Structure 1
Amino acid sequence: MTIEQALRRHSLPRLESRMLLMHAWPELTHAAIIGYPERELPQDVEAAFDALAARRLAGEPMAYLLGAREFYGRDFKVSPAVLIPRPETEHLIELALAKVDKNAPARGVDLGTGSGIIAVTLALEAPAWTVGAVDVSAEALAVARGNAEALGAGVDFRLGSWYAPLEPTARFDLIASNPPYIERDDHHLAEGDLRFEPRGALTDEADGLACLREIAAGAPARLAAGGWLMVEHGYDQGAAVRGLFAAAGLLAVETIRDLAGQDRITIGRKAG
């Protein structure tokens, strides 16, 4: 089978076919695909490509098939143990860097780090900061540690639930989180990429606000004076999350919309 025949073999978008073929045959380049479409595929490459294509046709996300996804201009390794990075989360990075001086020493922590995109990106974008990351999943932490090592980011990773594994006396200038916020019975959990992502990272198996309640309630005791709490949440949860922040005594509470005009990130500051 030739390169061109392989690209036409499955009813996939041509770009996806190209990406899967290049993943099955790492030495293959875009230039080679264009310049030598008549080139024969080795049998092992053909078999690997067909297997990847079958998984994609079954709905498996491209990020899991390729093992990586770009976030904030960097490639992060991903696996079914972690959520697939999404561009909406870049708003949280931008807000953190705008509210906390990235050139001055500061302490930040990412709760529920998953693949580590928030913690690793903050550590690289603000090298003066000391950044920690927490996750209840050992498998997720292994992915996050691998990303930190591959990208040269210094992050203190801890296994546990939310604030539990942090030092009792630690105070932070920034607490950031993209926690599970989908309601237990939301139909989206059975659709698209979400079918393949770790359920525990998507839903709290309750009303979608359980994790956000715990994070907001615990933040004042963990924030330094003037420190910020920033969380990502669902498009219809802005008002509820602002209420949680206000109940915790946080100031300057505000919900920021994403590029689609949907409520996406809520922030609040501790007095001081």
Structure 2
Amino acid sequence: MSSYRQEYAWAKKLLTKAGCESPAFDALCLFSHAFGMDRTGLALSGDKEADGEKVPSFRGQVRSRAGGYPLQYLLGEWEFMGLPFSVGEGVLIPRADTELLCETGLSFLKGRRTKRVLELCAGSGAVAVSLAHFDRDAQVTAVEKSPQALSYLRQNVARHGSRVTVAEGDVLVKPAQDAVYDLILSNPPYIPAGEIGRLMKEVSFEPRMALDGGEDGLLFYRAIVTHYPSLLCPGGMLAVEIGAEQGEQVRRLFEEAGFSQVAVGRDLAGLDRLVSGIWPGGKRTAQVCNFDRNTV
């Protein structure tokens, strides 16, 4: 039988050989997930015989990771804005780059009298739930079309005790009625359809529905700036995550739609990552948007 240290070393070696970008980190994550032992535990108890009942499952997950299967799906959850979110096949994995979208929304809401928020293409709910968690006065509605993603969205809303309202809806179709929101956020699919097959292997396991932005990657941005300004109150903000090469194109779409103060935000790597704009609009009265709603 092997020791815990030998199991970890085997995993690290296999992942290194497979070309994983962070073999030591991935090996430790899977090791901790399988054996309930962190780095300190490994240092203190590494020479003990590994739990024979857990070894086969651990090795199977390591082999899956070596084959390109996402680490996040194997672990069943991933962190976003310091909070754990349940993830799995059928839902986009939350990424640190998207925290800029959430932080932009939180900054905009700070000090506002009303904080009505709509998130489009909500996926796992990472943005909607985090925003509601860090701003307790926010009234958030999260819209998602995919049945699989909706399942994770509901799980994460329930997991964090959030007051987020979950709504099923197709972002490409204009809602039947107007509503009033102070802030609309979205991390929509934005990868050009022809480029999806050239992405990293592990991305191929994520739902194409959450990646495919149409022929030029701008399909959802056009729909959002066409259908959703009417749902914003005067002075309300629309903010969307973008691909690193899409800043100028999406900025132009915002300006052509009538947004003011249009800005392109950059991530920690200095890449274009977000476009935001303020809707000047006119006088509005509150109504209810006719999404297919159900609150968790």
- The Cα shift of 1:205 comes to 3.4
Are 2:41 and 1:24 equivalent residues in the alignment? no
For residue 9 of structure 1, report the CA deviation from its aligned partner. Answer: 1.8
SS at match of 1:81: coil
Partners of 1:65 and 1:189 in 2: CA distance: 23
Residue number among 173, 180, 183 corresponding to 1:171 in the alignment: 180
Q: TM-score, normalised by structure 1?
A: 0.94
1:135·1:141 contact (CA, 8 Å) conserved in 2?
yes
CA contact (8 A) 2:172 2:223 kept: no
Partner Cα separation in structure 1 for residue 174 and residue 151 of structure 2: 16
Mapped to 2, the partners of 1:106 and 1:224 lie a distance apart of 11
Say whether residues 1:130 and 2:128 are aligned partners.
Answer: no
- Percent of pairs identical after alignment? 36
Q: Does residue 9 in structure 1 map to residue 10 in structure 2? A: yes
Alignment CA distance shift 1:169-1:187 (3 Å): closer
> Within 1, Cα distance between the matches of 2:55 and 2:41?
16
The question of 1:260 aligning with 2:269 is answered: yes
Q: Is the 8 A contact 2:73 2:88 kept in 1?
A: yes
* Structure 1 residue 151 corresponds to structure 2 residue 155: no
Provide the C-alpha distance between the structure 2 equivalents of 1:172 and 1:180, rounded to a whole number of angstroms: 22
Which of structures 1 and 2 has the larger relative contact order (alpha carbons within 8 angstroms, sep 6+)?
2
Tell me if 1:182 matches 2:183. no
Letter in 2 for 1:8: A
For the Cα contact (< 8 Å) 2:196–2:212, is it kept in 1?
no
- Corresponding residue for residue 68 of structure 1: 77
Letter in 1 for 2:33: H
CA offset at residue 102 of structure 1?
A: 5.5
Change in 2 beyond 3 A, CA 1:189/1:83: farther
Q: Runs (4+) of structure 1 moved beyond 4 Å?
A: 163-167
2:222 to 210, 213, 221: 213
Determine the C-alpha separation between the residues in 1 that align with 2:174 and 2:157.
19
Please list, as runs of the form range in 1=range in 2, the aligned pairs for 1:68-87 lying within 5 A after superposition: 68-87=77-96
Alignment partners' CA distance in 1, 2:190 and 2:94? 15
Q: CA distance change for structure 1 residues 205 and 103 in 2, over 3 Å: closer, same or farther?
A: closer
Q: Please, which moves more after superposition, 68-77 or 164-173?
A: 164-173
Secondary structure of 1:43's aligned partner: coil
Letter in 2 for 1:17: A
Preserved contact between residue 189 and residue 210 of structure 2 (Cα < 8 Å): yes
The structure 1 residue matched to 2:57, chosen from 42, 48, 52, is: 48
Q: Give the alignment's Cα RMSD to 1 decimal.
A: 1.8
Q: State the Cα distance separating 1:25 from its structure 2 match.
A: 2.3
Distance 1:5 1:217, change over 3 A: same
Take 1:17 and 1:79, find their aligned partners in 2: how far apart are those partners?
19
Who is 2:20 aligned against? none
Q: CA deviation at 1:250?
A: 0.9
Compared with structure 1, are the counterparts of its residues 215 and 165 closer, same or farther at alpha carbon in structure 2 (3 Å cutoff)? closer
Question: Which consecutive unaligned segments of at least 5 residues does structure 1 have?
Answer: none
Q: Which residue of 1 aligns with 2:279?
A: 270
Q: Aligned partners of 2:150, 2:174: CA distance in 1, in Å?
A: 13
The residue number in structure 2 matching 1:111 is 120
In the TM superposition, residue 110 of structure 1 has moved relative to its aligned partner by 0.6
Runs of 5+ consecutive residues of structure 2 not aligned to the other structure: 16-22, 282-296
Q: Is the alpha carbon distance of 1:245 and 1:7 closer, same or farther for their aligned partners in structure 2, counting shifts above 3 Å?
A: same
